[in-house]
Amino acid sequence: MKISENAMTVLERRYLSRDDSGKVVEKPEDMFRRVAKNIASAEANYGQDKKKIKQIENKFYNLMADLDFLPNSPTLMNAGKDIQQLSACFVLPIGDSMESIFDSLKNAAMIHKSGGGTGFSFSRLRPKNDPVMSTSGVSSGPVSFMKVFNAATEAIKQGGTRRGANMGILRVDHPDIMEFIGCKEDLKILTNFNISVAVTDKFMKAAKKDGDYDLVNPRTGKPQEKKGAKEVFDKIASLAWKTGDPGMVFIDRINEFNPTPGVGEVESTNPCGEQPLLPYESCNLGSINLSNMLKDGEVDWDKLRDVVHLAVRFLDDVIDVNEYPLTEISEMTLANRKIGLGIMGWADILILLNMPYESTEAYKFAKKLMKFIQDEGWKASEKLAQERGTFPNFDKSIFKDGRPVRNATVTTIAPTGTISMIADCSSGIEPIYSIAFVKTVMDNDALHYVHPFFKQICEERGIYTDELEQAIVKLGSTSGIPGFPSDLRALFMTAHEISPEGHVKMQAAFQKHIDNAVSKTVNLNEDATIEDIANIYMLAYEQGCKGITVYRDGCRAGAQVLSAGSGEKQKTDAAAHQTKLSDIQVDANGKLRPKARPLIIHGATHRMRTGCGYLYVTINEDNGDLFELFARMGKAGGCAASQTEAIGRLISLALRSGIDSDSIIDQLKGIRCPERAIIGKDKIYSCPDAIGQAIEGHLANKGLDVKAMSRLDSGVRPECPECGGPIEFTEGCLLCGLRCGWSKC
């Protein structure tokens, strides 16, 4: 079994079983065996004897252990354990009543607790200020209830192996559409939601012609007012330029391909947008590692066919052994049996086939490859139907040739952020994000990571030198390197070098042969314009996509670093809250000597609730400057107490030596440990993080609002909070560029 060092890190942090003390007690092969055995047990439902079940278990094991295919994360994490919840994505309905709203909130909590993500359409809720007859009052509108769902998600996701995530959708013809479009403009609000506007064909046509369309009150079903479609469209593009949200979901196109229209209408998708689902529906996803599908420099179509058929069987078995968080979800999932087989390693296979990502050749290859997977997937589903019967809601009139099949859908391009790390391949159908990264470790040494294919191919050409490596590490791409071969420059174009049109065309090429939808992000440079984004959204609609997401570099860089009570922006003045340099002494050998401590000093003690109990942080000042810090756990003694005392002493030494408090806060905040705490909307990840927040709070009490939100939550923090690597925005989520396993979703 070939497991890379990075993959092992991800597995140990997220997937492998632990004992009660938190110690990892499982090896990767144990995990794959656990999953294979559990999923293969479903075969007993269809008359397979023990010998046959064992054979299928071994096939499932080899499929995963060879890294040819991996199921979605909840299946790897939970199969064969007490938490037998194996689905990645769910959609819950929200009706226009308090009972329905809070029933959905409760159900979402159960799903998040089990490791799933949820999608909601808030389109059925009456608009803001609409009458509420039962109370003689008025409605607060969909956005207000989204904030309630967001707060609940924030509370539930703490300490889990997989973070809760939501998709919030509102129809473009809802009267509150303008408020919804701007609901994430404040980056501290709705941090656990991706949002998308469900746009109709009628709206898109009106936007192209600069015409009007009706806003319809969902309570009455009647038009409430007319709105200029281009005004709304431009507002969507403007906010997407500013914050990355909202995306667009082409809801009429989604329902045009709804395989069970008699059961219901699709109103929402899962959090990353690739899985349109009916209310109470879930889907089980998995991805084929394309980088393993080559033989002698060509696609091994026979191997790919075998992998597709076995993967479809695997995913269908998942449906049967899955323990769903709600009875309604179990009933709907078993009735439709949707699965989503996708791919990862697309950028890798293009490089290995010497095929530039942004090329007509690559678009044609994408269609050919995905058509093969889709066709073989349906053949596998048809074969399963012959063995096991069709899915209960099967209606032969909606399938082209009326053939009986086992599953309502077969293919999806899903995010593969962490499973692609395990497989050590590129993520989904995204291009490479950078050819090289620099990681700064704790002793400030810089470690260079260069894409292995780049190094290999350049070495084969005889052009890989120390100078080239230094340039690549500095730039992250071949742009700006004079004389670099043009064919290799095209082959190794990064996400930001590929044109927006190239991104959309690739997504559209795959969508042509995908039953569900495609998770992909159009990454844009900081200098992209609002008009660029408007053009991308329109092109995605015209090219046949089912949805679209963009992310412009720096688009969330709006958080204030330091602001006075009046709200006016000010520059950070380090001298306002640090020891004066004139008070620092240098000895005869030129070494720094910290400022001496006065006999009497004043300060304040902050009580911080951590996952290990209360932490008391005392911060003292000298002439208005931060001077020293003491940290004490509520319970005396032990390793934790000695660690916090040591941290306090070192912080005091730093303050007395002229180190500004911003730098100290930066070093402490975001450090994580397994024991976390949550107070309202605030998160405390560890004792060091609590100390950093205590210093921040102390300065805030002095009238200095330091870093009102973390750079990570604002989208501008460049480091992964777990390993210090760079952050990527891809497949609708913030991910660690060094692939340590961290993601914000």
The secondary structure of 293-332 as a DSSP string is: SEETTEE-HHHHHHHHHHHHHHHHHHHHH---SSHHHHHH
The whole-angstrom separation of Cα 561 and Cα 709 is 8
Among 111-115, 156-160, 720-724, top mean pLDDT goes to 111-115
Alpha helices in 13-79 (DSSP H): 28-40, 50-65, 73-78
Task: Give the residue carrying structure tokens 């395989």.
Answer: 259
By residue count, the chain amounts to: 745
**Contact at 8 Å (CB) between 552 and 558?**
no
Token code pair at residue 632: 């004490």
- E strand or H helix at 730: strand 727-730
List the structure tokens of 304: 């790919």
* CA atoms 442, 448, 452, 453: torsion sign: positive
pLDDT digits 0-9 by tens, 527-576: 999 999 999 999 999 999 999 999 998 787 543 222 222 233 323 333 33
Angle at 739 between CA 319 and CA 29, to 5 degrees: 50
pLDDT in the model for residue 565: 28
Q: Which has the closest alpha carbon to 349: 415, 285, 304, 302?
A: 304
* Cα separations in angstroms, 629 against 472, 596, 609, 621, 668: 43, 15, 17, 9, 13
68-72, 220-224, 484-488, 554-558: the lowest-pLDDT one: 554-558
Place of tokens 């306090």: 648
> pLDDT at position 232, please?
98
Dist CA 324 CA 88 (whole Å):
11
pTM across the whole model: 0.79
Residue 611 amino acid letter: G
Higher pLDDT, 676 or 518: 518
pLDDT exceeds cutoff 50 at 713 = no
Contacts of residue 60, defined as CB under 8 A and 6 or more positions apart, other chains included, come to 35, 36, 39, 40, 310, 314
Residues forming the active site:
270, 272, 274
Give the count of beta carbons closer than 10 Å to the beta carbon of residue 550.
26
Q: What is the dihedral of CA 675, 679, 682, 686, to 10 degrees?
A: -20
pLDDT at 563: 22
For residues 250, 251, 252, 257, the Cα torsion angle rounded to the nearest 10 degrees is: 100
Q: What is the pLDDT of residue 686?
A: 84
Question: Is 356:489 a contact under the CB 8 Å cutoff?
Answer: no
Please give the single-letter amino acid code of residue 720.
C
State the average pLDDT for the chain. Answer: 86
Q: Does residue 357 contact residue 393 with C-beta atoms inside 8 Å? A: no
Distances 394 to 141, 264, 309, 397, 398 between C-alpha atoms, Å: 37, 13, 20, 9, 9
Question: What domains can you pick out in the chain, each with its CATH number?
Answer: 5-85+270-423 (3.20.70.20), 89-269 (3.20.70.20), 562-706 (no CATH)
Give the β-pairing of 247-250 and 547-548. Answer: antiparallel
Place of tokens 């404040």: 186
> Exposed (0-12), middle (13-18) or buried (19+): which is 325, by Cβ within 10 Å?
buried
Q: What is the pLDDT of residues 81-100, one digit of tens each?
A: 998 999 988 999 999 999 99
Q: Which residues contact 216 (CB under 8 A, 6 or more apart)?
A: 173, 174, 175, 222, 223, 224
User: Within 10 Å of residue 703's Cβ, how many Cβ atoms?
Assistant: 10
- Is residue 662 very low, low, confident or very high in pLDDT (cuts 50, 70, 90)? confident
Q: Which two tokens stand for residue 672?
A: 């994580």
Contact status, residue 342 vs residue 285, Cβ threshold 8 Å: yes
689 sits in which H/E element: helix 687-701
pLDDT digits (tens, 9 = 90+) for 345-388: 999 999 999 999 999 999 999 999 999 999 999 999 999 999 99
> What are the helix (H) ranges across 400-476?
419-423, 452-461, 466-475
Select, from the ranges 2-6, 129-133, 412-416, 590-594, the one with the highest average predicted confidence (pLDDT): 412-416
Secondary-structure percent of the chain, ordered helix, strand, coil, rounded to 5: 40, 20, 40
- What pLDDT score does 557 carry? 56
C-alpha 558/C-alpha 514 separation (Å) is 37
381-432 pLDDT, tens digit each: 999 999 999 999 999 887 767 889 999 999 999 999 889 999 999 999 999 9
Of residues 678, 693, 692, the one with CA closest to residue 163: 678
At 162, give phi and psi (nearest 5°): -140, 125
Residue 193 has pLDDT above 60, yes or no: yes
Bond preceding residue 688 cis, omega within 30 of 0: no
Tokens of 409: 């859908």
Instruction: Please state, in angstroms and rounded to a whole number, the distance separating the CA atoms of residues 525 and 179.
Output: 27
Return the pLDDT at 608: 84
Segments of 128-209 assigned E as strands:
131-132, 137-138, 166-171, 193-199
Mean pLDDT is lowest, of 449-463, 480-494, 590-604, 642-656, for 590-604
**Which band of pLDDT confidence, cut at 50, 70 and 90, is reported for residue 710?**
very low
Q: Which residues contact 473 (CB under 8 A, 6 or more apart)?
A: 436, 438, 448, 450
pLDDT at 634 over 80: no
- Section 27-45 average pLDDT: 98
How many whole angstroms from its chain centre is CA 210?
Answer: 35
- Beta strand pairing call for 282-289 and 339-344: parallel
Q: Are 426 and 420 in contact (CB under 8 A)?
A: yes
**Other C-beta atoms within 10 Å of 167: how many?**
25
Structure tokens of 229?
């479609």
> Residue 90 and residue 503: Cα distance in Å, rounded?
27
H-run or E-run covering 98: helix 98-113
Name the pLDDT band for 133 (thresholds 50, 70, 90): confident
663/509: higher pLDDT: 509
| Model pLDDT, residue 394 | 95
Q: For residues 393 and 372, what is the distance between their CA atoms, to the nearest angstrom?
A: 26
